[in-house]
Amino acid sequence: MSHSVIRTRFAPSPTGFMHVGGIRTALFAWFVARQSEGAFILRLEDTDQKREVEGSADHILAALGALGITHDEGPDIGGPYAPYVQSERLDIYKAWAQKLIDVGRAYADPYTATELEAFRESAKANKKAFLYREHRPENPPEWDGTTPLRLKSDPKPYQWHDEVLGDLSTSPEVIDDIILMKSDGFPTYNFAHIVDDAEMKITHIIRGQEFIASQPNYLNIYDALEIDHPIFATMPHIMAEAGNKKLGKRDGAKDVLDYLKDGYLPETMINFIASLGWNDGTEQEIFTIPEMIEKFSLDRVQKSGARFDEKRLEWMNGQHIRLLSLDDLYARVADFWPESAKDATEDKKKLVLGLVQDRLKTLKDLAILTDYFFTEPTPDWSMIEGNKQLSKLEPVEINTLLSEAIVSLEESEFTPEAIQETLNQLLEITGQKPGILFSLIRLAVSWAPFSPALNDTLAVLGKDTVLERLRAATSAQ
């Protein structure tokens, strides 16, 4: 029974943007830390200088921040085990490597690239898997840091437990003398993450399935170092919408920040990404973030890969938008108003927002849905000609109906209720069906393909605007 505090980490390499796969790994590690008062650590694994992408580290920080996946220790805020950037921890890896050399578990790799290549070729020719340890030198030179340092492996069968996949096992032939330190002085991921996780007292390693094949080699390193390994949890892949491949940048994996810019709520992204491979066993689909933190458990994570379905994401975003209070939603849509709303008052905008809240799938929809509330729409008579019922009316009849509407609405108090009353009376006066009368008025005041309920729309537009637009429509005929 361990009483130690749970410490999980997300350890991305700064080689690109944050896509959903990376976010999910971070998210689940964050859930595990947050549901137990543990700590969530962010560590930058920048040991491959060649692949490093400028600005990527800032981008990762920005993406996590935008989603509210907060860390307790990391490159930007420090912590008790700083630094949290691997390129700044070279001395630490060197010291741990020296320990292995001292106990005879690591040695300098004396071969040139061509020699190594020849070994590989011959293994391939014999249809055998290449194992470096079969060529392990008898008397390797002392390691001076200019050649790779390799683990002197101790091949043996391994079995271990994975919180998601269950009990796993492998045979000795997968263990090899893998590289610990590269000739450029940087450690490999294989070595560095083990050292760092140990130094930083990480209790759970939550990572993608691509690492599972290397796991036995990692276990061999833990053994050589004589340290206990953390709890392992392997996440299934997220696959691209088409095909069966793991979702990668080339398959159209989008930057999570792009989803936010497109009007998806952070809580939607969290809920959706979590639902890709996890559920709480009930029929609940929509979760708040605190609910997910409370209910998440690694043993209910799916073993097989999941596909990213944008339609479902869109639906889920609508659900979360509807869950928001008007004030909260108002605060979130600040960047999504149409240009025409620039000078509109907060009161007016809130009124309009309240009308369209149920209609938004993404915040981006706001602009096209509300433009006519803030600016004079351009009449488009093809909308009337294109309407099955309205196209049957003569221009004179249209004019008459609109004029009747003007007369009645002039007398209305112009609250939504009063307007509805007026509209109902108008149906009797004109003897028309709602499908004709209401459609006509709706188009004449909005010239939009769709709009909220007619009485609400008219009320928010205001009597003056409504009458003005109706008159404009009459005289245009």
Q: Dihedral through CA 429, CA 430, CA 433, CA 436, nearest 10?
A: -140
CA dist., res. 310 & res. 247, Å (int): 13
CA distance linking residue 188 with residue 202, whole number of Å = 19
The answer to whether residue 94 is catalytic is no
- Residue 32 and residue 204 in contact, taking contact as beta carbons nearer than 8 Å: yes
Place of tokens 């249809």: 127
233 membership: H or E segment, kind and range:
strand 231-235
What residues contact 398, with CB distance under 8 A and at least 6 apart? 384, 390, 440, 477
What are the residues facing 278 on neighbouring strands? 301
* DSSP string covering 59-103: HHHHHHHHHT---SBBTTTB-TT---BGGG-HHHHHHHHHHHHHT
What is the four-CA torsion angle of 140, 141, 146, 151, rounded to 10 degrees? Answer: 30
Sheet of 7-10, strands arranged across: 39-42, 7-10, 204-208, 231-235, 158-162, 166-170
Q: Which residues lie closer than 8 Å to 459 by C-beta, 6 or more apart?
A: 414, 415, 416, 419
DSSP state letter for 372: H
| Nearest to RNA of 263, 318 (CB atom) | 318
Given 249, 261, 361, 463, the catalytic residue: 249
Neighbouring residues of 171: CB distance < 8 A, sequence distance ≥ 6:
157
C-alpha 474/C-alpha 468 separation (Å) is 10
Distances in whole angstroms, Cα of residue 470 to Cα of each of 372, 388, 392, 474:
14, 21, 20, 6
- Rounded Cα distance between 87 and 34, Å, is 28
Residue 343 vs 454, nearer CB to RNA: 454
Contact 80/202 with Cβ under 8 angstroms?
no
The three-class DSSP label of residue 159 is strand
Number of Cβ within 10 Å of residue 187's Cβ equals 27
The secondary element (H helix, E strand) that includes residue 459 is helix 454-461
* Among 194, 95, 100, 117, CA closest to 151: 100
Torsion angle of C-alpha atoms 31, 35, 41, 42, degrees rounded to 10:
20
How far is residue 335's CA from residue 343's CA, in Å, rounded to a whole number? Answer: 14
Provide, rounded to whole angstroms, the least separation between the CB of residue 30 and RNA: 18
| Catalytic residue annotation | 249
